[in-house]
Amino acid sequence: MRTTILNIQKMKDNGQRIPMLTAYDATSAKLVEAAGIPMILVGDSLGMMLQGHETTLPVTLDEMIYHSRMVVRGTSKALIVLDLPFMTYTVTPEQALTSAGRAIQEGGAGAVKMEGGAHMVQTVARVVQAGIPVMAHIGLTPQSVHKLGGWRIQGRDAVTAHRLIDEAIALEQAGAFAIVLETIPEQLGQEITNKLHIPTIGIGAGAHCDGQVQVFHDLLGLIEHPPKHAKRYAKLNEVIHQAVSEYIAEVQDGSFPTDAESFKMDETTLAALYGQ
């Protein structure tokens, strides 16, 4: 049975920290679930991690649904949250409801994530009312990178910090089951967490959030320059480089493949082949 939003809430209520990771395909999803991850985000960060874009903005809903299907097929226990991509939920609440419905029906997700503060409250309420769990997302919202003037820390001044607190409370009241806090000061992350009944999931928001989310490729060291908030738990880029280099060398010197990686005909078949 899959993890539900009630299980996630119970983790907060019991003081149990909530680990969350991105995954974009069946293989990575299977690996992180096997390690014990209870909640997987099919993030629109795939636009940067997989597609080579500079931002998340070019990612489409069809692409998110495609990747969500793979993640769902690779798992059986984790709660799968699909990141609704740029301009698929901000025009009207009805547009958001249609996109979220596709995420559930076609993508197989158990919840959706939407970026934005006060202007998203009505939309979140509408989607939740329709029976679709919503994870909110405030602070640095990557889909607003141009409006924000880049990848900048949010909530550093008192006015902005108070606004983010008010937005978090409003999103909780609208029915969000959890809220991502991205790239804000640690003290602000703690204050919002203390004021909310729903779980906060931090990414660059300090150690006092109820949970943390990180990008699969950052955690495993698959990219050259991870952001400040990411800790490398492995350096798989070096492992991959070494493995591929050894493969190239063995192909070129003829030591691969060996008999262990080859298939043989039996003697009778060989004789028939050569007409003997």
Residues marked as catalytic: 182
89 neighbors 95 (Cβ within 8 angstroms):
yes
Closest by CA to 28, choosing from 84, 68, 88, 83, is 68
Spatial neighbors of 90 by CB under 8 A, at least 6 apart, are: 96, 116, 119, 120, 123
- Alpha-carbon torsion (177, 182, 141, 83), positive or negative: negative
Q: For 77, how many CA atoms within 13 A lie in the half-sphere containing its CB?
A: 9
Please state, in angstroms and rounded to a whole number, the distance separating the CA atoms of residues 162 and 192. 10
| Per-position DSSP letters for 94-133, written without gaps between them | HHHHHHHHHHHHTT--SEEEEEBSGGGHHHHHHHHHTT--
Q: Residue 75 CB: number of other CB atoms within 10 A?
A: 22
Task: Give Cα 104 to chain centroid, integer Å.
Answer: 16
Q: Two tokens at 174?
A: 């609208």
Q: For 85, how many CA atoms within 13 A lie in the half-sphere containing its CB?
A: 22
Closest by CA to 18, choosing from 49, 1, 48, 41, is 41
Spatial neighbors of 1 by CB under 8 A, at least 6 apart, are: 77
Spatial neighbors of 91 by CB under 8 A, at least 6 apart, are: none
